[in-house]
Amino acid sequence: MGEVKTPRQWFLWSIALVYVCAFASIYVQIPGLYGDEGILPVRLQMPKVQRPLLEQESLLGLGPSLGLAPQQVLELTCLVGVALALCAVLLEPLRDSLIYFCLRVLYLSVYNVGGDFLHSEWDVLLLEAGLLAVLVAPLGLLRCHSSYRYHDTVSFWLTRWLFFRLTFCTGVSKLASGDPAWYDLSALSHHLENQMNPTPLAWYVHQLPDWLLRFGAVVVLQSEIIVPLVTFFAPIRRLRLFGFYVQLFLQLCYILTGNCSLLNLLSITLSFSLLDDDHFNSNTDPKKKKGQEKKPRSCGQTLVSYLMMLLELAVYLFILYCFISLFKLQINWEEKTLSSKTNFTQKGFHAFLEVFQELTIWIGVLSFTWEAVSAMLTCVCTRGIVSKLWSLIQWALITAAAAAVFALSVVPYTSMAGMSVSKVLPAVRDAYSAVERYQLVGAYGIQHRMTSAEGRPEIILEGSYDGLTWTEMNPMYKPGNVNAVPPIVGPHQPRLEWLMWQTAQGGDDTSPWFTGLLQRLLQGKQEVVGLLQVDEAQYPFSQKAPVFIKAKLYNYHFTDPTKDKTHLQAWWRRQYKREFFPIVNLDDPTLKKLLEEAGLKEKFPAQTGSDTPVSQALSLIRDHVKGLSGSLLLSTLLATVAGIFLLKAVFSWVLGGPKPRPASADHKTRKPKEPSEVAEKSQAAAPSNRGGKKDSNEKKDSDRSPRKRK
């Protein structure tokens, strides 16, 4: 693989942007989720006994020394994270290893106290990608300057390995779980309405012919299982580019039909590991001059290039063969349709996993060894003994750290459905258990949920003043009112809606967070109400809290204009399934018992922090963002970043950009001369220099002139 300076910068910039979205999204929801009057007050989760700083799992232990309440420390942590990440996004010198280390510490601190609301797959992925950013980023803040290092390809390789694990495990989990919807290829039709936040475009895609949606399911399985296997670690550059564009297309489809989530952004960020500098330079370099001709290739080089082309063609044919053979693709020319059906069983797929489990790991070992040896040879070829020794020391440290991360990642990688960790070395398993709490590496694809054909289960909360007349509390970011347009959430991650979506699929009504939600809604706490609806006009109990609350479970389906003639104005149709939670009020013994079991029954009132300048600043910032939805705040923040980059580009073009000069014979771009050309000119100039020292002195003086030095 060639140099990776540009992809590395794109990766670091993107990770910083994801941190901005993640910290800002959590900050908006802190009062409703973790505030003193929130669903799960963070102060109730703090340890009763004060421990040393190095033994604490979160920075919230610094609250007493700073004179801040736990909620304020959590807000300060997120604000500092947003500020550091914004600096890294806007200023290239601050995309430093030290900055990314601080960002990861801050996010891990929030993750450890976040409870169920933050234990999602994208949070684990961000923590692991953040660790790789620490290894990939240069350490320039402690030195005068930072530069590209010879061993950067070794650390940057870990991002490709993480991207492979994420993509491959996501695809494998669909089939290894035995989900019948993926085996009969009807999953994509159900997925469009069952995903967390479908967009309006998902409704239109859902109306496509059934044969086209089945073909889309085949494309998804091929893109997530076969394509990563044969392209991500291929020695041929064009194959890696093919894998990149396939995954980019897949993620863009997910974003357009299911909103832009942190998981999609991180997947695109990790996909940059499949690129190299040549891919960017080929699009930016000027065209070659007519007088320049390519050097003639030797017979060996020509033979190697033809072999590479044949190998590349064989890979494409293999992918096409998998399309046709594994899924029985047949074209009906008369009806202009395409039929497809899986040509393998679940037992056969598990046999496939047993073979490829070790194979993929050994492919990773060989690919990592190739990058490490190539980087070592590059360090050996550097000029100067001191530079060579210093480069080798850095290479040894980075390679050892990368090898340790790679070895640890094998443990969660083999824990996905259908694989076994028995073949992993006991020492590696013990090391993984010792550092598991730091979330250095994660497991992906193991939380796959069965794609239900019965529809999308949704929990609908209803409130009442008299227990007879009930009114629904429709949330902002998930289906409720069947006539409401599916929302555009963007990179904002509504944690309450996400957990309600998961709980509806699992059917657990005794979760501590759900009990806390009912309690706060009965109390009319505006912080929690703001998680459901920011607009008071859309919340029926904005003036007075409900006396009674209950929860029902419905199955939602996208409407079909050809069948649902009575639902032409509706996006959804729903069917009542069952009662999810019985009628309760604040004095209900059942609610009190659940609150006590969950540890949410407060025995002591909340203690406010001291009135320090930091707490005053936090209160001022909170007052400014109060009443804003998370999607609006993040959209404004990202628009501001885009505006800054646009202004920067305009000013650099108007003021700082050098004006192009007309080409002339005296000002041509000089290229380094070939050794043969230098020898010919020195031989031709030798007779003219025999006349004396005057000519040579004049030549030296002319060489010292500023024009010659250019």
**89-117: pLDDT as tens digits:** 999 999 999 999 999 999 999 999 988 89
Weakest mean pLDDT among 43-47, 191-195, 446-450, 518-522: 446-450
Residue 566's pLDDT is what?
63
List the domain range (segments joined by +) for residue 561. 456-586
For 512-549, what is each residue's pLDDT tens digit? Answer: 899 999 999 999 999 999 999 998 888 999 889 999 99
Residue 494's pLDDT is what?
94
Residue 101's pLDDT is what?
96
Work out the average pLDDT over 574-601. Answer: 89
pLDDT of 398 > 50? The answer is yes
| Alpha carbon 522 to its chain's center | 37
Q: Has residue 59 been placed in a domain?
A: no
549: nearest Cα among 460, 459, 464 = 464
Model confidence band, residue 673 (pLDDT cutoffs 50, 70, 90): very low
Per-position DSSP letters for 175-208, written without gaps between them: HHTT-HHHHTT-HHHHHHHHSSS--HHHHHHHTS
Residue 66's pLDDT is what?
82
Q: Report residue 430 as tokens.
A: 């013990």
Non-local (6+) Cβ contacts of 467 within 8 A are 547, 548, 583
Q: Report residue 625 as tokens.
A: 């963002």
Model confidence band, residue 407 (pLDDT cutoffs 50, 70, 90): very high
Residue 656's pLDDT is what?
64
| Alpha carbon 410 to its chain's center | 20
**Residue 654: left if φ>0, alpha if ψ -120 to 50, beta else—which one?**
alpha
Q: Has residue 204 been placed in a domain?
A: no
Phi, psi values for residue 557, rounded to 5° = -130, 150
Work out the average pLDDT over 188-213. Answer: 92
Residue 703's pLDDT is what?
46
Q: Has residue 528 been placed in a domain?
A: yes
Token pair 């030549």 is found at 699
Separation of alpha carbons 178 and 171, rounded Å: 12
Residue 705's pLDDT is what?
44
Could you give the C-alpha distances from 168 to 10, 154, 342, 367, 435, in angstroms and in order?
23, 21, 19, 17, 24
Please, which residues bridge with residue 332 across strands?
337
Separation of alpha carbons 564 and 557, rounded Å: 11
Could you give the C-alpha distances from 420 to 17, 499, 579, in angstroms and in order?
36, 29, 40
Model confidence band, residue 344 (pLDDT cutoffs 50, 70, 90): confident
Model confidence band, residue 462 (pLDDT cutoffs 50, 70, 90): very high
Model confidence band, residue 686 (pLDDT cutoffs 50, 70, 90): very low
Token pair 């930016």 is found at 284
Phi, psi values for residue 660, rounded to 5° = -70, 135
Separation of alpha carbons 573 and 554, rounded Å: 10
244: nearest Cα among 284, 279, 218 = 279
Mean pLDDT over each residue of the chain, to the nearest integer: 84
229: nearest Cα among 373, 52, 364, 344 = 364
Model confidence band, residue 693 (pLDDT cutoffs 50, 70, 90): very low
Separation of alpha carbons 263 and 251, rounded Å: 9
Separation of alpha carbons 371 and 363, rounded Å: 12
Non-local (6+) Cβ contacts of 503 within 8 A are 459, 509, 511, 514
Phi, psi values for residue 440, rounded to 5° = -70, -40
Residue type at 284? T
Instruction: Answer yes or no: are the C-beta atoms of 600 and 515 closer than 8 Å.
Output: yes
Could you give the C-alpha distances from 567 to 235, 260, 486, in angstroms and in order?
54, 28, 16
For 10-66, what is each residue's pLDDT tens digit? Answer: 999 999 999 999 999 999 999 999 998 999 998 887 765 566 655 677 788 788 788
Residue 53's pLDDT is what?
58
| Whole-number percent of the chain with pLDDT over 90 | 48
For residues 142 and 39, which has the higher predicted lDDT (pLDDT)? 39
Q: Has residue 467 been placed in a domain?
A: yes
Q: Has residue 545 been placed in a domain?
A: yes
Q: Has residue 564 been placed in a domain?
A: yes
Work out the average pLDDT over 471-481. Answer: 91
Binning the chain into helix, strand and coil, the percentages to the nearest 5 are 60, 5, 35
Residue 495's pLDDT is what?
94
Work out the average pLDDT over 678-705. Answer: 45
Weakest mean pLDDT among 45-59, 402-416, 620-634, 668-682: 668-682
Residue 352's pLDDT is what?
85
pLDDT of 599 > 60? The answer is yes
Enumerate the H helices of 578-710 as residue ranges.
589-597, 613-625, 630-651, 675-685, 693-703, 706-709
Separation of alpha carbons 115 and 513, rounded Å: 9
Residue 44's pLDDT is what?
82
| Alpha carbon 454 to its chain's center | 30
**pTM of the complete model beyond 0.75:** yes
Residue 677's pLDDT is what?
46
Q: Has residue 551 been placed in a domain?
A: yes
Instruction: Answer yes or no: are the C-beta atoms of 518 and 600 closer than 8 Å.
Output: no
Number of domains in the chain: 1
Weakest mean pLDDT among 280-294, 399-413, 608-622: 280-294
pLDDT of 168 > 50? The answer is yes
Helix (H) or strand (E) holding 428: helix 426-435
Weakest mean pLDDT among 16-25, 165-174, 492-501, 555-564: 555-564
Separation of alpha carbons 328 and 322, rounded Å: 9
Q: Has residue 363 been placed in a domain?
A: no
Phi, psi values for residue 312, rounded to 5° = -65, -45
Weakest mean pLDDT among 102-111, 140-149, 234-243: 140-149
Q: Classify the C-alpha dihedral 372-413-137-58 as positive or negative.
A: negative
